[in-house]
């Protein structure tokens, strides 16, 4: 900690010369020029919540429109956003803009910022006994690049994008729909948003890898690191290897669009399928990027509330490594219907099913951790138990979809939508809420309401299952994804799903009520408020931790306890 923020900015020197641990910079410096991992983590969390309101609101419009057959609301929303009245294609284009924005926002601006930018920034340095991240200023620019990426994506909604305003390409941005199929600057802005967010994430990944490899406290060997740190380490490697491929692919899109290259244009010798290979070489590791930190959070919570070390620690850590490695060689299972050869389909079917093995190890190890434990049911434990079940359901439908021959029917249907929302919306998001309630008093020093968080869990659990389970039925019955309208045979389960969304929305109201509760009641939290079982280093600090922790490095000498 040779260069802490206050020393860096001369404007501050007059008022305060002594830089002790809790010396906080003034508001603008602290929040806009921050180099403190905890402040940047908080910024990421606030940003993620804000983006989730936008992304979740968009899905509200989508569920409203899909509640019954016919186009009911798109025209009005289109007009509200400045479109011409009665412009049918414009309204339908708006639908594609909504699904695109929903996907991109939830992936790049909600889950990744919350998991990696938020929780990992906050707790990885603390858990390994480090005073901060390895590159604090790079940490800051990671956040602001992500923020500017979001701004670029929002701006794209107000640019011409072909048949209407905004980028209507789907989050996958497949060529040639995203090149010759979408004239106008909207898609360029969307692509630039991915560039910015991607650059931010790559820098974040470098930061985490360096921090974890170089800044562990004395005695904190790799095999003593808490599993959350392991999960972030694996995630950071996935980011580092996958995102440059995405960056290359979307840069080629940009040059195809603007500089007459033909990487993905058959007329000039290119191939649209090449884009899909590049995209999914990034895209499949990306889904593990979203869920692995969640695995880490759940491991910490299960261990804490079982008052027992994680069962099969090494198996758990290397299961995540295995998932990360195998995750790079299964990408074409997203492309079974593009015209792959039968041999390719067989290989990708087999490779994909292999992933179920380390995933099973994790599920069973969580249960074995609780086995023989002394379980307390604080609210994070409710969320963690919910996670295990919901992720299992999402995982087994993944095994179904892994079979290329079955996917021939289910590909691009609502079954796929159900599957990835079970692992993400019900998996990753449930893990995010679990982490939020596990660490909220630690991060902010005041208590949330345990009652409200349990209530939120129940409403959320009922809501998301009502919302997403019927989508399996719709998909098997043949309903395609990304459709604003459907034949009346699909009405029943669509109507049920929309009701599920409404229930889920109530749980989000409870979430915000809980934040208000914490702000108003301001019930102080102790350092280790979960008590016995909470053994990682963040529980040795006050709540909230001092502005700069571990100015004297902690020494980990416990053979089994402190680390995991």
Partner 1 sequence: MGIRRAAQYATFAGAALMVSAGTALAAAAEATALPEDAVVGGYVPMKPTEGKGMPTPGAIGFQEQFSPIGEYGQWMHNAVLMPIITAISLLVLLLLLWVVVRYRTKANPKPSRTSHNTLIEVVWTLLPVLVLLGIAVPSMRLLASQYETAPEGALTVKVTGYQWYWGYTYPDYGGFEVISNMLPEDEALANGEPTQLAVDKRMVVPAGVPIRIQTIGADVIHSFAVPSLWFKLDAVPGRLNEKVMFIEEPGVYYGQCMELCGARHGFMPIAVEALPRDKFEQWVLEQPGGTLGEPAMTDVNMPVQEPESAVPGAAGAPRPDSALEEDVDAAEPAPTAA
Residues 370-409 that bind partner 1 (CB under 8 A): 370-377, 385, 388-389, 392-393, 396-397, 399-400, 403-406, 408-409
The residue among 219 and 272 lying less far from partner 1, judged by its C-beta, is: 272
Closest CA to 497 of 418, 430, 437, 390: 418
- Binding of partner 1 at residue 141 (CB under 8 A)? no
- Binding of partner 1 at residue 426 (CB under 8 A)? no
For residues 368 and 309, is the Cβ–Cβ distance under 8 A?
A: no
Closest CA to 319 of 387, 384, 365, 383: 365
The contact pattern for partner 1, residues 322-361, with x = CB under 8 A and - = no contact, is ---------------xxx--x--xx--xx--xx-xx--xx
The contact pattern for partner 1, residues 50-89, with x = CB under 8 A and - = no contact, is ------------------xxx------------------x
- Binding of partner 1 at residue 307 (CB under 8 A)? yes
- Binding of partner 1 at residue 310 (CB under 8 A)? yes
Tokens of 355: 């992933």
Signed CA dihedral, 120, 121, 122, 124: sign only: positive
The contact pattern for partner 1, residues 433-452, with x = CB under 8 A and - = no contact, is --------------------
**Among residues 140, 231, 413, 507, the one that binds partner 1 under rule CB under 8 A:** 413
For residues 279 and 338, is the Cβ–Cβ distance under 8 A?
A: no
Site for partner 1 in 165-204 (CB under 8 A): 168-170, 174, 176-177, 180-181
Peptide bond into 176 cis (omega under 30): yes
The residue among 396 and 509 lying less far from partner 1, judged by its C-beta, is: 396
**Among residues 315, 445, 527, 546, the one that binds partner 1 under rule CB under 8 A:** 315
- Binding of partner 1 at residue 221 (CB under 8 A)? no
The residue among 115 and 253 lying less far from partner 1, judged by its C-beta, is: 253
- Binding of partner 1 at residue 300 (CB under 8 A)? no
For residues 176 and 210, is the Cβ–Cβ distance under 8 A?
A: no
**How far apart are the C-alpha atoms of 262 and 381, rounded to whole Å?**
52
Site for partner 1 in 450-479 (CB under 8 A): 472-473, 476-479
Site for partner 1 in 238-277 (CB under 8 A): 265-267, 270-273
The distance of closest approach from Cβ of residue 233 to partner 1 in the complex, given in angstroms and rounded to an integer, is 21
Closest CA to 121 of 226, 203, 36, 32: 36
Closest CA to 167 of 196, 138, 191: 191
**How far apart are the C-alpha atoms of 23 and 39, rounded to whole Å?**
13
**How far apart are the C-alpha atoms of 338 and 279, rounded to whole Å?**
14
How many other CB atoms are found less than 10 A from the CB of residue 476? 15
- Binding of partner 1 at residue 512 (CB under 8 A)? no
């Amino acid at each position: 900690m040779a260069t802490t923020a206050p020393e860096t900015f001369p404007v501050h020197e007059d008022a305060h010369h002594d830089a002790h641990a809790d010396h906080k910079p003034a508001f603008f410096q602290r929040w806009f020029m921050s180099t403190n991992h905890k402040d940047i983590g908080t910024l990421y969390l606030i940003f993620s919540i804000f983006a989730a309101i936008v992304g979740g609101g968009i899905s509200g419009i989508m569920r409203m429109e899909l509640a019954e057959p016919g186009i009911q609301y798109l025209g009005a929303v289109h007009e509200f956003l400045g479109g011409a009245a009665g412009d049918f294609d414009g309204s339908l284009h708006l639908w594609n803009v909504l699904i695109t924005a929903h996907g991109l926002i939830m992936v790049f601006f909600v889950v990744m910022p919350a998991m990696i930018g938020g929780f990992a920034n906050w707790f990885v340095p603390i858990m390994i006994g480090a005073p901060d991240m390895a590159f604090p200023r790079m940490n800051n620019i990671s956040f602001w690049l992500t923020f500017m990426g979001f701004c670029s994506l929002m701006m794209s909604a107000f640019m011409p994008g072909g048949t209407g305003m905004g980028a209507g390409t789907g989050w996958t941005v497949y060529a040639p729909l995203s090149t010759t199929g979408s004239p106008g600057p909207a898609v360029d802005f969307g692509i630039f948003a991915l560039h910015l967010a991607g650059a931010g994430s790559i820098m974040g990944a470098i930061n985490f890898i360096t921090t974890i490899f170089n800044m562990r406290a004395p005695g904190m060997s790799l095999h003593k690191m808490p599993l959350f740190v392991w999960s972030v380490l694996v995630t950071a490697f996935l980011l580092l290897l996958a995102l440059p491929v995405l960056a290359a692919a979307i840069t080629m899109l940009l040059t195809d669009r603007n500089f007459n290259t033909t990487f993905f244009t058959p007329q000039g010798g290119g191939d649209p399928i090449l884009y899909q290979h590049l995209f999914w070489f990034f895209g499949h590791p990306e889904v593990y990027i979203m869920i692995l930190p969640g695995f880490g959070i759940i491991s910490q919570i299960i261990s804490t509330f079982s008052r027992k070390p994680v069962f099969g620690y090494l198996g758990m850590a290397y299961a995540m490594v295995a998932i990360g490695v195998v995750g790079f060689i299964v990408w074409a299972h997203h492309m079974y219907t593009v015209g792959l050869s039968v041999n390719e389909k067989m290989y990708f079917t087999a490779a994909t099913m292999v992933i179920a093995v380390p995933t099973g190890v994790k599920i069973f190890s969580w249960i074995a951790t609780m086995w023989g434990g002394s379980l307390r049911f604080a609210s994070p434990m409710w969320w963690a138990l919910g996670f295990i079940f919901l992720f299992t359901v999402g995982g087994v439908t993944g095994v179904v979809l892994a079979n290329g021959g079955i996917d021939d029917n289910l590909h691009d249907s609502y079954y796929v939508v159900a599957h990835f929302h079970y692992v993400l919306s019900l998996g990753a998001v449930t893990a995010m809420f679990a982490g939020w309630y596990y660490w909220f008093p630690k991060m902010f020093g005041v208590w949330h309401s345990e009652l409200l968080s349990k209530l939120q869990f129940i409403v959320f659990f009922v809501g998301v299952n009502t919302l997403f389970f019927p989508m399996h039925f719709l998909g098997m019955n043949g309903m395609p994804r990304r459709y604003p309208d459907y034949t009346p045979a699909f009405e029943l389960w669509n109507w049920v799903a929309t009701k599920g969304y409404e229930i889920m929305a109530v749980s989000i109201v409870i979430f915000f009520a809980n934040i208000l509760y914490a702000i108003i009641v301001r019930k102080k939290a102790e350092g280790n408020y979960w008590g016995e079982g909470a053994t990682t280093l963040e529980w040795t600090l006050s709540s909230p931790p001092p502005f700069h922790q571990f100015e004297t490095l902690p020494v980990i000498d416990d053979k089994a306890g402190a680390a995991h």
